[in-house]
Amino acid sequence: LSVSSIKPNLFLSQLLWVILDILIILFSSLINWRSLVNYKWFVFGFYFLTILLVIIALIFGRPIRGTRGWITFHNNQFQPAELMKIALIIVYAEYLRRRHVSVASLRTIALTFFYFLIPAFIILRQPDFGSASLLFTLWFGFLLISGLPTKRIIAGVIMLAVLSTFAWYFFLKPYQKDR
4 pLDDT above the threshold of 60: no
Instruction: For residues 156 and 154, give the distance between their C-alpha atoms in angstroms, rounded to a whole number.
Output: 5
Average pLDDT, the chain: 83
Query: Is the pLDDT higher at 163 or at 170?
Result: 163
2 pLDDT above the threshold of 60: no
3 pLDDT above the threshold of 70: no
- Return the bridge partners of 73, or none: 76
- With pLDDT > 90 as the criterion, what percentage of the chain qualifies? 27
Average pLDDT over residues 28-51: 86
Neighbours of 151 (CB within 10 A): 9
Instruction: For residues 35 and 135, give the distance between their C-alpha atoms in angstroms, rounded to a whole number.
Output: 25
pLDDT tens for residues 56-111? 999 988 777 777 888 887 777 888 999 999 999 999 988 888 777 677 788 888 88
This prediction's pTM: 0.77
Neighbours of 133 (CB within 10 A): 15
Instruction: For residues 35 and 58, give the distance between their C-alpha atoms in angstroms, rounded to a whole number.
Output: 33
Task: Specify the 3-state DSSP secondary structure of 100.
Answer: helix
Residue 179 — pLDDT band, cuts 50, 70, 90? Answer: low
pLDDT tens for residues 116-156? 999 999 998 888 888 888 999 999 888 888 877 888 888 87
114, 119, 121, 125: CA torsion to nearest 10: 180
1 pLDDT above the threshold of 60: no
Q: What is the pLDDT of residue 109?
A: 84
140-143 long-range contacts (CB < 8 A, ≥24 apart) are 142/92, 142/93, 142/96, 142/112, 143/103, 143/109, 143/112
